[in-house]
Structures are given as C-alpha cells and as structure tokens.
C-alpha cells in the first residue's frame, strides 16, 4: 500500500472511530460503499475536523427525536458533512470542489432570531475556558445583541439598498465579534489554533498562492476560534 493510500485508509478508520464514540461505543464498520464514500471525502480534501462537525450536526438532530435510538451509519451523515465542508470552504476561501452541494439558506428574520438566541446563551454562560478572557468579548456581545434585537422587527420587510446596507452592517458586526474573540485569547491559544488551521488546509496548500493561503489561514483560525467559543456567524449571504 502506498503512503497516500495508507493515509486515506487511516482517514476512514478515524472517521469510523469517531462514529463509534458518537454511537455510545457501538461499532458500525465503514466498509463497501460506505468506505468508498468516506474515501471520496478524503480525496476531496475534507478535513477530519469538518467530518466530525458534520457527524455532530446529524447527531444533534437525531438526539432531539428522543432516547430510543439505533446506531447511526456514516451514510446518514453525508449531507451534513458536505454542508459543513461547503461552509468551511467558503469561510476559508479554498478552491471550489465539484460535487459539493450549496448550503441551505434561512430567511433573514430566522437567521437574526437564531443569532440573538445563541449570543444570549453565550452571554449567560459562566464557563471559563483556558487561555481565554471573557471580559472584552462579553461587552461586545452585549452591544451586538442590543443592536440586532432592535433590528429584528424590521428585517422581514427590508428590501433593495436598505437590505444591502443592513447586510453590510451584519458583516461588520461579525468581524467585530471575531476580533473581540481574538483579543480575548492568549498567544499560546492562537498558536495552537494556527497549527490546527495548517493541518486543515494542508490538502489545498500546494495549489494556493502565498497571499491566498495567508488569508485562508487567518479565516480558518477565526472559524476554529468561533467553534471553540460557540460564536454564531452574524453575516448573512
């Protein structure tokens, strides 16, 4: 077995191990067509962390159905995995991958409602994360929640130039949120996130100019920081 083929098989086994953990220890082997499907993810360059988030997303909906559950097969998670990969690709700016579907979109009012709910839950959280100071971030979250809460009522009927201006404002608020989260991190935490970003982007690095890679790496660090601190995406495209 070549080194590249060996890496792809190891990728499949790691996905299998993660799925087993999510299935409360029940082993559902990834073989046959399922193995080829997961192998395809590896060949497309889908990072393992993205696969895991897609699996998590499926299980979040599955758990919501009640306590009686059967073991989940990896095929059931495919749509969520590819959705998360598309979101990740758009966020970090890596090249388009053929065969990956677009992300389903919510309405603007529904998006704002979910963002406010997540920010409010974040603000109410008293958890302390190593390498992270919540003081600056909490103040930024408070300001954003107040602004979005006031804007929600008018969001449904907003059109034309007013809508475009509001979407620009959402992008600016999103940047403010991520900047506040970066400022709350210590250097060691940002270095660790940078190493994780390098690992995620490794399959695409050879085909990216240095400037593009630097932008994608920063965006990837921001995404990892967002996931680590459970920050919602405020921007709406």
pLDDT score of 95? 61
List % helix, strand, coil for the chain (3-state, nearest 5): 70, 0, 25
State the distance between the two ends of the chain, measured CA to CA, in whole angstroms.
44
Using CA atoms, how far apart are residues 228 and 151, in angstroms rounded to an integer? 27
* pLDDT over 60 at 164, yes or no: yes
Tokens of 89: 């690709």
pLDDT score of 104? 47
What is residue 130's three-state secondary structure? coil
Task: For 185, list phi and psi in degrees, rounded to 5.
Answer: -90, 145
Using CA atoms, how far apart are residues 75 and 175, in angstroms rounded to an integer? 35
Q: What is the mean pLDDT of the chain?
A: 84
pLDDT score of 52? 93
pLDDT band at residue 121, thresholds of 50, 70 and 90?
confident
Q: Where are the alpha helices (DSSP H) in 93-159?
A: 108-124, 134-155
Q: Where are the alpha helices (DSSP H) in 185-232?
A: 187-205, 210-229
* pLDDT over 80 at 8, yes or no: no
The sign of the dihedral angle between the CA atoms of 185, 230, 52, 49 is: negative
pLDDT band at residue 144, thresholds of 50, 70 and 90?
very high
Q: How many CA atoms lie within 13 A of 92 on its CB side?
A: 31
* pLDDT over 50 at 65, yes or no: yes
What is residue 23's three-state secondary structure? coil
pLDDT score of 206? 86
Range name among 20-29, 47-56, 118-127, 203-212 with the lowest pLDDT average? 118-127
pLDDT score of 103? 46
């Amino acid at each position: 077995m070549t080194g590249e083929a060996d890496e792809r098989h190891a990728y499949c086994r790691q996905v299998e191990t993660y799925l087993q953990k999510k299935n409360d220890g029940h082993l559902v082997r990834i073989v046959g067509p399922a193995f080829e499907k997961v192998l395809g993810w590896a060949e497309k360059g889908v990072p393992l962390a993205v696969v895991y988030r897609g699996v998590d997303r499926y299980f979040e909906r599955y758990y919501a159905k009640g306590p009686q559950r059967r073991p989940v097969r990896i095929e059931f998670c495919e749509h969520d995995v590819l959705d998360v990969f598309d979101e990740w690709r758009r966020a970090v700016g890596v090249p388009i991958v053929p065969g990956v579907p677009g992300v389903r979109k919510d309405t603007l009012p529904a998006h704002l409602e979910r963002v406010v709910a997540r920010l409010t839950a974040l603000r109410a959280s008293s958890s302390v994360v190593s390498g992270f100071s919540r003081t600056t971030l909490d103040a930024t979250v408070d300001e954003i929640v107040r602004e979005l809460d006031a804007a929600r009522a008018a969001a449904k009927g907003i059109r034309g130039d007013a809508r475009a201006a509001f979407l620009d404002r959402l992008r600016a608020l999103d940047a403010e949120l991520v900047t506040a989260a970066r400022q709350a991190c210590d250097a060691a935490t940002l270095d660790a996130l940078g190493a994780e970003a390098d690992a995620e982007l490794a399959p695409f690095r050879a085909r990216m100019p240095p400037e593009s890679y630097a932008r994608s790496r920063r965006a990837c660090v921001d995404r990892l920081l967002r996931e680590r601190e459970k920050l919602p995406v405020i921007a709406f495209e």
